[in-house]
Structure formats: C-alpha cells, structure tokens
C-alpha cells in the first residue's frame, strides 16, 4: 500500500511499516541519492532491513578479519583507524532502523528487532573478543608514546583499547563464553522491557461518556479526547490515554476524583498488571544478568562497572550528590503537601491527599498563591512560535540559521526538515523535528541521529539529526499550543541537536561524551526559554499576535520555582531506585521487585503521595539501557548547566558572544576528545559548585 503525504506542498511517497512496493533495489546498498544524502525514507521498505543488516555484519566481519590477520606490524592507521572505519553499512542501516523503531514502529519492526538482537550481540562479541585483533590494538596502545599522534588520535587509541578490555578481551575463554551469553540475554531483556512498556501504554484507555465528567478540563484537551475516541470508533465519547499530553493535564485539571484515581493507577501500574506484558520478571532477570556480568569483569556490582567510565567514577559520588539535594527537596515537598491539604480544606473536604490529588490541588495552590493558571500560557506558546524562538536563541548565540526544506524525504509524515547553516554560510547538517504522540512512537522526548558527523576522504560529513517529542496535538482547525513543560522540553532537545550539529571529530571512537556530561548542552539551553527578553521574541498570542503581557511574564517568573519539591523528589526517587538496583551485590532468588522499590523509597522518607517519576516496571531509562546506573546524570549535569549559565549572567548579557564562543569551542565541538571535567574547566575556568542548582530549583 502506498502512503501519499504532503510536505510543505510537495508530494512524496513514503515507505511505511507493512509496505511492500516499488522496487527490489535496496536503498541501503548504494549511496543515498537524496538532498544532503539523507536516508531515502520514501524508498525504504521493511524487506530492505534484514538483508542490509546481514550484509553489513558480513562486510564488517571480513574487514575485521583483514585487520586481525594483517601480516604487517600493527600501526595506528592499519589497526586503530581501520577498525574505527569498519562496519559502514551496518552503521548505516542501524541508524535508520533503530531511529524509526523508536519513532514509528510496528509489529514487523518489533519482531525483526527481536530476531536481530542475538545476531547483533554475537557479532559485537565476535569483534571485541577476537584475540588476534585485541593483540594488535594492545600493541599500538602499549607503544603509543613512541608514535607521533595528536590529542584526538591518542584519545582514539585509549578509547579503543579500553573498549576491548571492558568488553572482556582479557577474560579467559570460559568466562568469555559466559559473557557472550549474558550480553545476548541482557540485549533481549532490554528489548522486551521496552516493547512491553509501549504495549502497556497503548493498551490503557479511560473512556468517558458523560459530559459532566469532563468538568475542569480545557476545551483543547476535551477536543483531543473526542478526536481520539472518533479514531477508535467511539464517536460521541472521550478517550484519555497514558501519553503525557493526555494523562498529565487530566490529573492536573479533572474535577472528578474517581477518574483521576483510575488514570493515575493505570499510569503507575504499567508493566505491573500480571499479564503478558508484565515487566517484573524482566526486571529481576535483567538486574541479575547485569550483576553477573559486572562480577565476571571483576567489579562488585554493576554500578561500579558502569561508573568507571563516567564523570562520577564511583557510586559513592553519585549518592553524595543525591543526598545533598534530597533533604531540601523533601522539606519543600512537605511544604507543598501542606498547601495541598489547605486547598482540600478550602473545599470543605477533610480527606488526606493521595497521588491522584497532588497535581490537581497543587495547581489550585499555585493559582491561589500566584493567580496563574497554566492554561493562560498556552495561547502564547504556539508550537511554530516556540520553534522559531529556539532557532532565534541559536542564531543570537552562534550565528546559525535554519532553513525549511521542502522536497526532501522525512522519517514520518508529521516531521519537518531544516537545513542548518553556520554563521559563515557553511552547511552544518539537516535537522528533523517530529512533535506529536502516536501509538507507533515510544513515550518521552529525545534527540538522535540518522547519520553522525564524521570525515570521509578528508572531507567533513555533516550529521542528520532528529528531535522526537510527544507534545499536545492540535485540535482540528487550530494550531498546536504547548504548555510550559513542553516548551522547555523543545529547548532541551534542541540543545542536544546543537551538540550533534556543532561536533567536529575525525573518528567515531571519540564522538561520544560520558552519559553524565551529555545532558549539559541540552539542559543549559533550557535557561533561555523563559527569559523575559526571549519571551518577547516568540511568546505571541496565536490569534492576536500580542506579545505575552509583562504581568503574565512576571507571574511565570514568581511561580517558576513552585512545585520544585515534588519535581525534584520524584526525580531523585527514580535516581535512587536506579542506583539501588545496580549497587546490589547479590540478587535473591525470591526477590520481589515491587517490594524492593517500596523499601528503597520508603526508607528515604519519600511521601506516599509522590511516586517515583519512573517506577521499576516502566523505567525504560535504566531497564531499557542507555541510562543504566545513570539516571542521576540529569541532576549531575544540572550542577554543570546551572553553573555554566551563571557565566553568561555574570557578564550582564545572556547572549554574550565571548561566552557563547567558548561554550561552543570547549563543550559542543570536541566530542569526547578531552576529559569531560577538563572540557568544563576549559570553558568555565573552574569546577562547578552545587549552589546555583539549589538556587535555580528554589531549594536554597
């Protein structure tokens, strides 16, 4: 079936899940003949992926064997660089497949991802556990000081060697065999966890058929719920889902307490319903497999294995940071709970607040204190205006511009495409932006690449970057109007995009930064979102064009820190949960996952009304991989970003060009060539302190 879509007036045929059309030519097996050589999404079919993966693995295997069996002595070029540049086809197809598997998946893609998981795990292990290859890598590493290498090249040698060691190259054959089994098991469990979570999120529906049960909700939210019902074949009713743009405003504004309880429990019990998508056993097996892997590698727990390669280095350093923030956050949350109970009393009721009451009565308390209703902001936060505000910030700071691209393949019909040009007019990359939730998209917001920046034959290859979000969908005939959190999210993900666009490294092996540093570029970008002089640029009423009134801006500013007790406590709770799982030294056979979670949070005094931001059974950041023993990274990076923004404020100009130039040079451009803390000190001239973070969150 062909799917015809329109992009800014230009017709494009897009290959979608389940599509079996057009041609036998596999787009992955030749150069992309597209603008800026972006992936030809309109020509890629499901049937193209598996053959490209298989051929990609075969090609890389041959390349690796050639390196390992090279009769010439090992050199930087014939071993380290050759290995770094191997696997081009596999990288090419993986970027597209896994990007779309997150943003626009289907049953066929999910089935293929399960089929590929053990194959890719084995392929990776075959490389990292190849003794001849490791011997050559080690030879270059051990003689590095005798080689004439620049800083980037030395870093590549170090990272390549470390990667082999951390992948088990020094283990004996029996332990390597067990490591292979564990790697395959972990990969499959992580995949299963994410697929179960997506199913649980999509399966829940709160169906309302009485108009009076909609009391308190905005017209936009009601209209979206009606549209969802219509799409589901229930026209005349209203359906609310567990996607954030639906569930969160429902909890914040719905007057019907019983319905708030129902959707709240649906949200916090995802993966914990004792059905085919239950994640409790997945979590138990995953945590156990990770621990066994860590012990196999010589570490007492999985966190120590992971953190060795991060800024934090040790679990004690993570707990020390979390503990410093926990006490003031909990104190603030208790103050907020008192406000909530006061609002309940105002209504002539005397029940004790529960989790499904918090957002509703916190919103009332906020309105009482600051005379601000979050819905007052939406008319001034039209999506296109916010996007243009994000572009404006980048232009003011770095001189870059974003030009809409019309006749270009896109990863989904909803996505927009832009060319990014540097201040001198040079092409920096292509940026896709995909805003709205759908059943085929995982929750949350993220930034990734369909092609990473690199060099080819001495010429820089620009990246293809994508920002994927789950924002409130527009009502028919109306524009998409964001709330404050969604606005901040767009600034956040755009910070990641700039990091990808500005990066300038010659080797894949030095392109990444530690997980607890990677959120610095994104979180620092949030600071500009609600600055009064920035709001004047983009916060314009979608009907009148009127700039957000000063009175409303002042209300936003005064109320901005209200609710940080809740927000900080729920985040820290998830961070503790992640760390406590991965600092375990033994996993009891009878381990009860939900009991472990309850004990972890209750022993620290978390209020019963505040659930962990992510409970164990839907904590995809850690159980799905990516932020394993690393969810603390957001608050770790916030210490950096709060201090970094002070560098601008200290000059009296939040668009100070000298500071922006240094931030780009030392933070956004070098990839992982330098040590992360050295990069920060190069920018700031000193290590960061925690005070700016506490001040920003209103905890001091």
Q: What is the 3-state secondary structure (H, E, C) of 284-299?
A: HHHHHHHHHHHHHCCC
List the catalytic residue out of 493, 526, 638, 646: 493
Secondary structure letter of residue 141 according to DSSP: H
Q: What is the pairing mode between strands 427-434 and 464-468?
A: parallel
Q: For the chain, what's the residue count?
A: 700
Question: What does each C-alpha distance from 45 to 22, 25, 94, 543 come to in angstroms?
Answer: 9, 10, 14, 42
Outline where DSSP puts E strands in 172-289: 206-208, 238-240
Q: Which two tokens stand for residue 156?
A: 């590549």
The C-alpha atoms of residue 223 and residue 234 are separated, in whole angstroms, by: 14
Task: Quote the Cα angle for 590-595-598, to 5°.
Answer: 155
**Helix 151-166 × helix 131-142 angle, to 10°:** 140
**H/E element holding 55?**
helix 46-68
**Helix 107-128 × helix 46-68 angle, to 10°:** 0
Secondary structure letter of residue 623 according to DSSP: H
The C-alpha atoms of residue 129 and residue 6 are separated, in whole angstroms, by: 48
Q: What is the pairing mode between strands 10-14 and 454-456?
A: unpaired
What phi and psi, each to the nearest 5 degrees, are found at residue 456? -135, 120
Coil/strand/helix, residue 389? helix
Q: Which two tokens stand for residue 606?
A: 């978390």
What one-character-per-residue DSSP string does 546-586 give? PBPPHHHHHHHHHHTTTTHHHHHHHHHHHHHHHHHHHT-S-
Question: What does each C-alpha distance from 319 to 154, 179, 620, 631 come to in angstroms?
Answer: 33, 29, 21, 12
Contact at 8 Å (CB) between 496 and 513? no
Question: What does each C-alpha distance from 535 to 168, 386, 389 come to in angstroms?
Answer: 52, 9, 8
Could you identify the residue written with the tokens 């560098």? 647
Q: Is residue 519 annotated as a catalytic residue, yes or no?
A: no
Sign of CA dihedral 227, 232, 234, 239: negative
Q: Which two tokens stand for residue 98?
A: 């896994």
Contact at 8 Å (CB) between 507 and 461? no
Q: Which two tokens stand for residue 444?
A: 């949350």
Q: Which of 472, 499, 466 is nearest to 485 (CA)?
A: 472
The C-alpha atoms of residue 330 and residue 322 are separated, in whole angstroms, by: 12
Coil/strand/helix, residue 455? strand
Rounding to the nearest 10 degrees, give the CA dihedral for residues 119, 121, 122, 126.
130
CA 238 distance to own-chain centroid:
30
Residues noted as catalytic: 493
């Amino acid at each position: 079936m062909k799917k015809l879509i329109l992009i800014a007036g230009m017709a494009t045929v897009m290959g979608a899940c389940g599509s079996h059309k057009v041609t036998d030519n596999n787009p992955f097996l030749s150069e992309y003949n597209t603008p800026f050589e972006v992936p030809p999404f309109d020509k890629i079919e499901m049937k193209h992926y598996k053959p490209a993966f298989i051929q990609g693995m075969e090609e890389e295997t041959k390349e690796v064997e050639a390196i390992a069996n090279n009769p010439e002595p090992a050199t930087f070029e014939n071993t380290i660089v050759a290995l770094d540049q191997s696997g081009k086809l596999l990288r090419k197809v993986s970027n597209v497949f896994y990007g779309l598997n997150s943003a626009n998946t289907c049953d066929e893609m999910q089935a293929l991802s399960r089929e590929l998981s053990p194959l890719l795990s084995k392929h990776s292990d075959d490389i990292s556990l190849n003794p001849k290859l490791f011997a050559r890598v080690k030879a270059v590493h051990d003689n590095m000081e005798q080689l004439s290498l620049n800083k980037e090249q030395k870093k590549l040698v170090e990272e390549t060697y470390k990667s082999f060691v951390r992948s088990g190259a020094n283990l004996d054959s029996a332990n390597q065999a067990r490591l292979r089994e564990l790697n395959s098991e972990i990969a499959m469990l992580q995949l299963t966890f994410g697929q179960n979570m997506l199913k649980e999120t999509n399966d829940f529906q709160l169906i309302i058929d009485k108009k009076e049960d909609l009391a308190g909700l905005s017209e936009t939210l009601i209209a979206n719920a009606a549209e969802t019902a219509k799409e589901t074949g229930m026209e005349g009713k209203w359906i609310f889902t567990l996607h954030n743009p639906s569930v969160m405003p429902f909890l914040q504004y719905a007057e019907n307490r019983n319905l708030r309880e129902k959707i709240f429990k649906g949200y916090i019990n995802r993966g914990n319903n004792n059905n085919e998508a239950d994640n409790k056993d997945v979590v138990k097996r995953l945590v156990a497999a990770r621990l066994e892997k860590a012990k196999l590698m010589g570490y007492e727990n999985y966190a120590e294995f992971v953190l060795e390669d991060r800024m934090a280095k040790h679990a004690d350093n993570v707990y020390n940071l979390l503990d410093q923030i926990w006490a003031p956050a909990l104190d603030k949350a208790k103050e907020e709970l008192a406000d909530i109970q006061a609002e309940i009393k105002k209504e002539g009721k005397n029940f004790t607040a529960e989790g499904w009451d918090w957002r509703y009565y916190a919103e009332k308390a906020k309105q009482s204190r600051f005379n601000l209703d979050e819905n007052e902001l939406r008319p001034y936060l039209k999506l296109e205006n916010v996007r243009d505000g994000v572009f404006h910030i980048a232009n003011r700071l770095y001189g870059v511009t974003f030009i809409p691209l019309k006749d270009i393949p896109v990863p989904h019909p909803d996505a927009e495409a832009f060319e990014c040009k540097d201040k001198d007019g040079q092409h920096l990359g292509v940026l896709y932006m995909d805003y709205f939730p759908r059943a085929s998209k995982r929750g949350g917001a993220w930034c990734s690449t369909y092609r990473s920046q690199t060099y080819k034959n001495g010429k820089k290859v620009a990246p293809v970057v994508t920002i994927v979000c789950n924002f409130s969908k527009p009502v028919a005939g109306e524009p998409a109007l964001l709330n404050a959190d969604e606005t901040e999210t767009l600034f956040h993900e755009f910070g990641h995009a700039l990091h990808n666009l500005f990066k300038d490294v010659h080797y894949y092996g030095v392109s990444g930064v530690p997980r607890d540093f990677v959120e610095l570029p994104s979180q620092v970008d949030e600071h500009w979102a609600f600055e009064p002089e920035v709001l004047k640029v983009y916060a314009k009423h979608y009907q009148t064009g009127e700039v957000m009134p000063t009175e409303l801006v002042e209300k936003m500013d005064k109320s901005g820190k209200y609710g940080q007790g809740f927000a900080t406590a729920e985040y820290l709770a998830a961070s503790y949960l992640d760390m406590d799982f991965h600092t375990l030294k033994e996993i009891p056979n009878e381990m009860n996952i939900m009991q472990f979670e309850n004990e972890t949070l209750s022993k620290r005094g978390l209020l019963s009304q505040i659930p962990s931001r992510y409970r164990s059974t839907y904590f995809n950041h850690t159980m799905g991989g990516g932020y394993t023993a690393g969810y603390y990274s957001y608050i770790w990076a916030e210490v950096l970003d709060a201090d970094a923004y002070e560098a601008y404020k200290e000059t009296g100009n939040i668009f100070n060009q000298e500071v922006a130039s240094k931030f780009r040079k030392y933070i956004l451009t070098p990839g992982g060539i330098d040590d992360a803390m050295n990069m920060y000190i190069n920018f700031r001239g000193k290590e960061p302190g925690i005070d700016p973070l506490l001040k920003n969150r209103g905890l001091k």
